[in-house]
Structures are given as structure tokens and as C-alpha cells.
A and B are shown apart, each in its own frame.
Chain A
Amino acid sequence: MLTALFHIVIFPGLLFLGVYALFFAFLDRKLYARLQNRVGPPWFQPFADFCKLIGKETIIPEGADRRVFVSLPVFALAAVTAAFIYVPVWSITHPLYSFEGDLIVVLYLLTIPTLCFFLGGWYSTSLYATIGAVRALTQLFSYEVPLFMALLAPAILAGTWSIAGISAYYAAHPLYILINIPAFVVAMVACQGKLERVPFDLPEAETEIVSGTFVEYSGRLLAIFKMAIDCELVVVAALISAIFLPFYAANPCLGFLLFVVKTLIILVLLCLFRASMARVRIEQMVMFCWKILTPLAIIQIIVNLLVRGSLA
């Protein structure tokens, strides 16, 4: 009971995830700034921003449903934290919690924050927030399908639905990773939509709809929402690295270090995407996801099925 509580609240649960997410947010911002020839923030900036937001007044719009409006940020953060429990952090042979099908559960839990953004925008009853909410939902329907398929393709080849199982399978057969490269590319591009980063940051789009879904959120609630977004970045990076970069270390300490290195690689790639592109339009985004990413992911699944069949 106590160990379970320790795992949920401290490591690798809420506290570790929060600290690591703030560290990630700093690295992301610093790297982004350096790529743009700026100095960038000091290391404690995301933490300072968080503390400052916590101390600010929280304003709830008159037309909004108070209970829903307040509970959504917490709900989003809780879902992200719950998803992180199932992603192997220090070991793939002795994962903390793992069962057949946890990949589906993690993907499901990662959809909840996006739905929370949508509902948050919708319940704000502001024009900008409503448009942002509609965009968030439209976006959800376009990136979710290729992202799911890209993550399921390696699972088909590995013949297991547990993240730790997939990692262990590819750690045993490292050459099979190369087959999954198209799926990796699809997952990297599609997760930009999930994380709402440039070029798919349409729900926020500061210069178009101010800050979209979050326009009415302030103070503590906004801080929790921001924290959920930062944590989501870590969880997605960890998930992608567990499935596509399953390098293996028996020693838990070494395994943890490897986890940090792998997630950092994903972060650098995501940051490069963000720095080198402009924001696309919503219809361009939907078109791109359905016409390019989805067929690519389907081909990957077919290829993986064929490879699996020939192996058996």
C-alpha cells in the first residue's frame, strides 16, 4: 500500500513527472530560443512561471459552469499522470505496472487532456475559446488515427499489446526497429498535433484566436493546465522512445539514464520541427493527416503484418 502510494505520488508519479516536465519545458524553451538566435530563459523559468500563476487571481467567467470549469484542468493533469505510470521508466524487464493492453490504456488516457481542452474552451462561453475548442476537436479527429496506427504497428510486429513487452521484443531483435521507421516519422509528426505545438498549434494560435481554449483560464487553473501540457510532452516522448527506441540496460540506474537520453532525443527532434515551420491552416492540417499520414500508417501496418506472417 505504502509503496503503491510512493509510486503514484513521488516516483515515477506526480512529483517526479512534474519536476521532469518543468525541466523538459526549460530545455524546450532554451533550445527553441537558441535555434532562433535568442538567449532563452534561465533554468528555473518554467518553475517560476508556475509559481507565479499559482499565486495569481483565478477568474471564472459568469456564463461558465463553475464545477466543470474548475475540475477540467485537474482532470487533464490526473489523466496524464495516470498514463505515465504504465510507461516503463527504469526497466523494461521489470516494469512497475504492466499488463497486456496497457498501450491502449495509455493512448486512451492521453486523449483525455485534449478532450479537457475542448470542454474547457466550450464551457468558457467565449467566442475565441469556442473557436479554439472546435479546432481542438477537429484536430483530434485528424491526428489521433495516424498516431494510434503508428503506435499499434510495432505492437503488431511484436505480437504483444504491453509497452514493456514491445520494448523487450525489440531489445531482443534490434534490427526490426528499422522496419518501423515510417511509423516513427508518422508518430513524431502526429504527436505535434496532440501536443498542440507548431505547426499544429491551431487550438491556441495566439495571433489568430488570442490563445483559443485557454483564453478564459487564469491563475491556478491555468497553471494546472500548463502543467498538464508540460507533463503530456514528457509522457508522449517517453511513450515514443519506449516503442521506437527500445535500447536496453539491465541496471536500473543505467536504465533510468538511458530513459533520460532517449526522451531528450525525442525532445530535440520535436523542437526542431517547431522551430522550422509555420502554423498550418485547419483544413491543411486535416488534409495532411488523412491524405499522407494515415495511408503511410496503414502501409506500415500491412508491412508489419506481412513480416509477422513470414516470421511465423
Chain B
Amino acid sequence: MSGDSKRITIPIGPQHPALKEPGCFTITLEGEKVVNAVVGVGYNHRGLEKACEARTYIQDLYIIERVCGICSHTHSTAFCQGVEELAGVEISPRAKFIRVIMAELERLHSHLLWLGVAAHEIGFDTLFMYSWRDRELVLDMLAMLGGNRVNYGINTLGGVRRDITPEMKQLIHKTLNAVEEQNKYYIDLALHETTLAARLSGIGKLSHEDALKYGAVGPVARASLVDDDIRVAEPYAAYDQIPVKVVTDGHCDVFGRAVVRVLEIMESIAMIRFALDNMPDGDLAVKFPRKIPAGEVFSRTEAPRGEDTHYIRSNGTDKPDRVRVRAASEANWHGMQHMLEGDYLADVPIIIAAIDPCYSCTDRAFVLKDLDRGRERVWDWQSLKRYSIDWYKERGFDASKIKLAERRI
């Protein structure tokens, strides 16, 4: 059967109904079986890190919140707590609890969204519609607390911007009951529906060793029995005062990832309830300095998709010297090729969707070091500019002829 004549190469993306954002997966098929997969991301580079360096810390908050549309809160939490550590500011316990409540509500809405997307990928549109209907309940809660459905804008340097009133608390408790009831149904469905189990079991295999080798994070790692959760490993905000149970599963496949996610929804609901009932009194935000003393910090949070890390270097001014964001999807891409190979073409969309990928959070511009020739290139701003002009010239657009006042090459 083998032999190049039997093989066809099929591109999934950059535009494809299964992908919610642009990414290109070049799949080589033998019949319906995937023999080689090349993951290509990088269609959506937005230069957010560079933009952060040109703005003040307060302005950066708005950029950082827009790194990801789904886990916006976790990014702003990571950024805020990093800057707070640099400034040596301790925020109030109440603000920490509110951050946790928002983070867990965000996890709820992200996991319900994932459930819908995954169901759609395998043609189970009924589950897709149901889970997204229930996700609306969570989004309504988030809108009530933050004022927005996705970019809540609740974090600020030195605390949070909005309080949770007793009335809101009551309403959240009530809504959580409804969400919990629905989620019990989804757990039952995920564990017992025949076609669902038949489609999800045994595909996208990532063994325990491979999960460690490729550095998988979040539900992908936890579905391979990797007991990895920043909320427990390095408790931030108020997670040291809230009981966190890490959900793991031994299936090591897409089915395991689905199980981990639906069970995590239950854990999140329990944590929100606990946090609401044990919320201490106190100020929302403390006074925060405009200029941050020089230093560097590494801040980690547990996003719905896994570990999210922010590196911030300050230089004593009101603008950061360097901001580096590593969203969870970036860690999970590494194992993707391994997960795709050996499976069927029909499973490619669901395997890609199973890591809950976020394409634009991941896209960075970087230069690979040429190991064979031992040559390493350091690119400064000028050479980057020259490179881009040459790149477009090769494709028939000559930017060097455009006379701009600022152009000094």
C-alpha cells in the first residue's frame, strides 16, 4: 500500500469550516489514514508584545486582556499580579477572591464552549446547540459582574474594579444550580452516549510519557494522568484558601480530554460557591504607583486551556521593557503532530479541537537558529524592516519606492 503514488497531501486550512481561526495543517494521507502532519500557525501575528512595550502599564492592561477572546481574564490576572509583584504591592483579600470567581466563571464558559465546538466537529450539532445555550447563562453572569461578555475588564493594577454585591451573589448561586443540573446531563452524555464514545475513544493518543516530553499543559496533560495545575502547584490569587481538586483521567485520548473538561466544570462550580460564601470584606483596589522599579518577574496562572505564563521586565519607567506572553495553546501545539499521525482524516478536526487551540494567542515572530551551520542571527529593528521590504519585493510589491518621511534605511 505504501509508496508515494498512493499518498495525497491535503491542506486543512488556512480557511476551513473546522477551524475557527486561521492555521494550516498539511495532512499527508494514505487512503484515509494520516501518515504525516505538518502544523503551520502564524497567520494571525498581531504584535501585541511589541505594542505593550510602547505603552504604559495601565494601557497595557487593555492590550493584554485582548490576547485571547476566551481566556481574557487569566491573561490580565497574570499580567496584573506580575506588575504588582514588581511594584511590591499586596492586593486586598477580597480582590483576590473576586479574581478567582471571575477566573472560574471563565473556565465554565470556556469548557462549555469547547464542548459545543467539539460536538460540532464530529457532527453532533444537538449537543453543540445545547451546550452553547447553557453557556449563555454563564456569559450573563460574567456580563453582570464585569459589564462585558468576553473582555470583562474587571482586573486593574492593585486589585479589581467592580464589587460583587449580596444580590449578585444570590443570583450567581441560583444560576449555578441550573448550570450544574445541565452539566450533570453532559457528563452522563459524554460517558455513555455510544456514537460520541465511538468517535472520541482511542484517537489523538498522547501517552503519559509523551505528554511530559512534549510539555503538554492543562486538560490535555491532565487527560494523560499528568497531575499539573498551577492553582495547586503554585497557588496565586486566593487559590491557597480555596479547596482545589485536580481532575485527571487515564484515557490519554480525546475522550479523556472531554471527560476532564466536563468534570472540571463541576469542580469550578463548587469552587465558585465556596469562594462566594467565604469572601472576606475589604477594599477592592489599593493605590498603585505609575512608575515601576526596575526588575523582572515571571507570573503564572492556570487558564482554562492550561498554564499561562507572562514574563515582564521593567526598567524604572511607567512602560515595561519587555512583555512575553506564552498562552497555553503554544505549549500544546508541540504534541499535535504526534497526536495526528496514525489517525484517520475524519478525526483530524476533532483532534485539533481537543487541545482547545487558540491560534492568535500563539502567533509570534521568531527566527530559527541554524544548527547545522552554527549561525545565529540577531535581528534588530532595522534589519527586520529591510527583511519585510525584500519579502514584499519578491512578491511583486516594491515598498522601497514609497517615500515616507520616517523611512530611514
Interface residues of A (CB under 8 A from B): 35-38, 127-128, 131, 198-199, 201-202, 205-210, 275-284
B123 at the interface (CB under 8 A from A): yes
Interface residues of B (CB under 8 A from A): 8, 10-11, 16-18, 32, 119-127, 129-130, 133, 193, 195-196, 198-199, 344-349
Determine the residue in chain B with the shortest Cβ distance to A198: B123
Bound-complex Cα distance A278 to B198 (A): 9
- Given contacts A199-B123, A209-B345, A284-B199, 4 further A-B pairs with CB under 8 A are A127-B8, A128-B10, A280-B198, A280-B199
Bound-complex Cα distance A208 to B344 (A): 11
Bound-complex Cα distance A199 to B124 (A): 8
Instruction: Supply 20 A–B pairs (Cβ within 8 Å), ascending by A.
Output: A36-B125, A38-B129, A127-B10, A127-B11, A128-B10, A131-B10, A131-B32, A198-B123, A208-B345, A208-B349, A209-B345, A276-B126, A278-B123, A278-B124, A278-B193, A278-B199, A279-B123, A279-B199, A280-B199, A281-B347
Bound-complex Cα distance A205 to B120 (A): 11
Contact A35 B126 (CB under 8 A): yes
From A38, A208, A278, residue with most partner B Cβ within 10 Å: A278
Say how far B242's CB is from chain A's closest CB, in angstroms: 34
Closest 8 CB pairs of A and B: A279-B123, A278-B124, A36-B129, A207-B18, A278-B195, A278-B122, A277-B195, A281-B346
Contact A36 B130 (CB under 8 A): yes
Q: Across the A-B interface, how many residue pairs have beta carbons closer than 8 Å?
A: 77
Bound-complex Cα distance A76 to B17 (A): 27
Contacts of B347 on A, CB cut-off 8 Å?
281
Bound-complex Cα distance A202 to B347 (A): 12
The answer to whether A281 and B18 touch (CB under 8 A), given A36-B125, A127-B10, is no
The answer to whether A278 and B10 touch (CB under 8 A), given A36-B130, A206-B17, A208-B345, is no
Chain B at the A interface: mostly helix, strand, loop or mixed? helix
Contact B346 A205 (CB under 8 A): yes
The answer to whether A282 and B124 touch (CB under 8 A), given A127-B10, A207-B349, A208-B345, is no
Among candidates B120, B126, B193, B346, residue contacting A275 with C-beta atoms closer than 8 Å: B126
Determine the residue in chain B with the shortest Cβ distance to A206: B17
Bound-complex Cα distance A276 to B196 (A): 10
Contact B8 A278 (CB under 8 A): no
Contact B10 A37 (CB under 8 A): no
Contacts of B195 on A, CB cut-off 8 Å?
199, 277-280
Say how far A136's CB is from chain B's closest CB, in angstroms: 13
Contacts of B122 on A, CB cut-off 8 Å?
207, 278-279
Bound-complex Cα distance A243 to B344 (A): 38
Chain A at the B interface: mostly helix, strand, loop or mixed? loop
Contacts of A37 on B, CB cut-off 8 Å?
129-130, 133
Determine the residue in chain A with the shortest Cβ distance to B353: A207
Say how far B37's CB is from chain A's closest CB, in angstroms: 14
Bound-complex Cα distance A29 to B199 (A): 25
Contacts of B344 on A, CB cut-off 8 Å?
281-283
Contacts of B124 on A, CB cut-off 8 Å?
198, 277-279
Contacts of A278 on B, CB cut-off 8 Å?
119, 122-124, 127, 193, 195-196, 199
Say how far B165's CB is from chain A's closest CB, in angstroms: 31
Contacts of A208 on B, CB cut-off 8 Å?
18, 345-346, 348-349
From A38, A198, A209, A275, residue with most partner B Cβ within 10 Å: A209
Bound-complex Cα distance A127 to B119 (A): 25
Say how far B24's CB is from chain A's closest CB, in angstroms: 14
Contacts of A279 on B, CB cut-off 8 Å?
122-124, 195, 199, 346
Contacts of B32 on A, CB cut-off 8 Å?
131, 282-283
Say how far B347's CB is from chain A's closest CB, in angstroms: 7
Contact A281 B199 (CB under 8 A): yes
Say how far B303's CB is from chain A's closest CB, in angstroms: 25
Say how far A26's CB is from chain B's closest CB, in angstroms: 18
Determine the residue in chain A with the shortest Cβ distance to B121: A207
Say how far B60's CB is from chain A's closest CB, in angstroms: 37
Contacts of B121 on A, CB cut-off 8 Å?
207
Contacts of A277 on B, CB cut-off 8 Å?
124, 195
Say how far A192's CB is from chain B's closest CB, in angstroms: 12
Bound-complex Cα distance A32 to B64 (A): 41
Contacts of A284 on B, CB cut-off 8 Å?
198-199
Contacts of A280 on B, CB cut-off 8 Å?
195, 198-199
Say how far B302's CB is from chain A's closest CB, in angstroms: 29
Determine the residue in chain B with the shortest Cβ distance to A135: B32
Bound-complex Cα distance A283 to B347 (A): 12
Bound-complex Cα distance A277 to B193 (A): 8
Determine the residue in chain A with the shortest Cβ distance to B199: A278
Contacts of B126 on A, CB cut-off 8 Å?
35-36, 275-276
Contacts of B8 on A, CB cut-off 8 Å?
127
Contacts of A282 on B, CB cut-off 8 Å?
32, 344, 346
Contact B17 A210 (CB under 8 A): yes
Contacts of A206 on B, CB cut-off 8 Å?
17, 123
Bound-complex Cα distance A106 to B177 (A): 54
Contacts of A36 on B, CB cut-off 8 Å?
125-126, 129-130
Bound-complex Cα distance A281 to B195 (A): 10
Say how far A87's CB is from chain B's closest CB, in angstroms: 30
Bound-complex Cα distance A283 to B344 (A): 9
Bound-complex Cα distance A55 to B200 (A): 41
Bound-complex Cα distance A128 to B27 (A): 12
Contacts of B120 on A, CB cut-off 8 Å?
207
Determine the residue in chain A with the shortest Cβ distance to B15: A210
Contact B345 A131 (CB under 8 A): yes
The answer to whether A207 and B345 touch (CB under 8 A), given A278-B195, A280-B195, is no
Say how far B317's CB is from chain A's closest CB, in angstroms: 49
Bound-complex Cα distance A291 to B349 (A): 27
Contacts of A283 on B, CB cut-off 8 Å?
32, 344
Determine the residue in chain A with the shortest Cβ distance to B9: A127
Bound-complex Cα distance A280 to B18 (A): 16
Contacts of A202 on B, CB cut-off 8 Å?
346
From B120, B122, B130, B133, residue with most partner A Cβ within 10 Å: B122
Say how far B40's CB is from chain A's closest CB, in angstroms: 17
Contacts of A276 on B, CB cut-off 8 Å?
126
Bound-complex Cα distance A37 to B8 (A): 41
Contacts of A275 on B, CB cut-off 8 Å?
125-126
Say how far B177's CB is from chain A's closest CB, in angstroms: 19
Contacts of B198 on A, CB cut-off 8 Å?
280-281, 284
